[in-house]
Amino acid sequence: MRICVIGSGYVGLVTAACLADFGNEVTCIEKDQKKLKGLSKGKIEFRELGLDGLIKRNKAAKRLIFADAKKSERSISDADVIFVAVGTPHLKNGAADLSYVHQALKNISKGISGCGTEKFRVIVIKSTVPAGTSDMIERRYKIKNAAIVSNPEFLREGHAVSDFLHPDRIVIGSENKEASNLLSELYRPLNARIVFMSRKSAELTKYAANSFLAARISFINEISNICEKTGADIKQIAEGIGYDKRIGTSYLKAGIGYGGSCLPKDVSALIYTAHKYGEEAAMLKSIDKVNEAQKQRFTKKILKALKKVKGNTVCIWGLSFKAQTDDLRDAPSIPIIKALLEKRCRIRAYDPVSNKKAWKEEPRVKYLDGPYKALKGADVLAVLTEWNEFKMADLAKARKQMNHPVIIDGRDLIDKEKARQAGFYYEGVGTP
């Protein structure tokens, strides 16, 4: 099939590369000139396991090409299936910003109306959009001989290629049988379970899934706070409840609160939608409130430790919102660092992949190119991202670099017994 993917970010690029690998002819359209120039040379702006090789192989086979959004009309009109995978960040009021989606639809509309051919096309909304968006697009753009389908994406950053190729399920929200069949055929190589539903249900499924994951994180964080007060251990509790089949083990790791480009914005957008329809959304609001408080709680732990040792230098290990990605969008590290800077702390930081991106967010921090270099003269080590290299750190070496041997571990990553044996004061999450 001929495919066009609009937007070459985490979702668009992975979708385009994987579909090209199935033998389709794919054009990936991007409006950001810098990104486009890099992609044409095979350079990807973000880190994603396995994506590099997929892109190289399919570019060489001429099944994957990149095009400028301004010159995309031909690629759009030639395509059988057009994916919209542009960003939908949240506005100040929490609502999803659909301006990029509209821009993409204007391009699609122009490309199709100007081409003169009447062939049937499927326009697939892969971006996360509020319930009713596909209906609105259909009414507003009235694109001839085309069906609008909602096909939300569930991949995780850091595992995006593997998640795309081995999905738990594919959700297709469609009111048009021909379009459903065409998409099913496109996804046939995956041998995946496909759940068909209405477009509105598909759109809301995505928000429900992310809000549910966020709820699990806020829940376990709240229980971990009770553990800290009562002397119970959150790891033991997560295991104790997780083996219950009705509960399951995933997303039960206590920490410093969730972040990233999806969970925070999707919870906000769902609250906005609920309010728009007169619903209170009390539980969704609590998920967000607990998450904000968790970041502040961690900052307070660092400040308390600094006060004890009469120091002000904090070494941060880990900046990206989770391991295996360099993404800093809505990463808890940024508000935590800003809050510490406000309290006149000096910050030295190290992340194996996102130092450069972090510098653009917060230039007042001193970014070092190694974990032990970053520790030099620190009064407190704060662990923010669960990278394996921190888990396996040489604690004796770490201690030698520091002014005071204090670890405040937001991910409960470092073995607390080993830390104490190495002479550290250690404080994790949800442990006595």
Q: Kindly list the catalytic residues.
A: 262
Name the residue nearer to ligand NAD (CB basis): 124 or 393: 124
CB 49 within 8 A of CB 324: yes
Q: Does 109 bind ligand NAD (CB under 6 A)?
A: no
Q: Does 6 bind ligand NAD (CB under 6 A)?
A: yes
Q: Does 157 bind ligand NAD (CB under 6 A)?
A: yes
Structure tokens at 262: 């999806």
CA distance 140 to 215: 35
Strand partners, 83: 5, 124
Q: Burial level of 339, CB count in 10 A (0-12/13-18/19+)?
A: middle
Q: Does 143 bind ligand NAD (CB under 6 A)?
A: no
Q: Does 31 bind ligand NAD (CB under 6 A)?
A: yes
Name the residue nearer to ligand NAD (CB basis): 6 or 407: 6
Which of residues 1, 22, 32, 209 is near ligand NAD by CB under 6 A? 32
425-427: strand order across its sheet:
366-367, 346-350, 313-317, 380-383, 406-409, 425-427
CB 428 within 8 A of CB 384: no
CB of 331 to ligand NAD, least distance (A): 13
Name the residue nearer to ligand NAD (CB basis): 157 or 379: 157
Q: Does 171 bind ligand NAD (CB under 6 A)?
A: no
Task: Give the per-residue contact string, 241-270, with ligand NAD (x = CB under 6 A; - = no).
Answer: --------------------xx--------
CB of 411 to ligand NAD, least distance (A): 20
Q: What is the DSSP annotation of 89-157?
A: PBPTTS-B--HHHHHHHHHHHHHHHTT-----EEEEE-S---TTHHHHHHHHH--TTEEEEE------T
Which of residues 17, 18, 86, 183 is near ligand NAD by CB under 6 A? 86
CA distance 287 to 291: 6
CB of 276 to ligand NAD, least distance (A): 19
CB of 69 to ligand NAD, least distance (A): 4
Amino acid at 122: V
CA distance 301 to 234: 17
Name the residue nearer to ligand NAD (CB basis): 262 or 378: 262
Tell me if residue 387 falls in helix, strand or coil.
coil
CA distance 67 to 36: 7
Q: Does 40 bind ligand NAD (CB under 6 A)?
A: no
Tell me the residue nearest to ligand NAD as measured from the CB. Answer: 9
Binding site for ligand NAD (CB under 6 A): 6-12, 29-32, 35, 69, 85-88, 100, 103-104, 107, 127-128, 153, 155, 157, 261-262
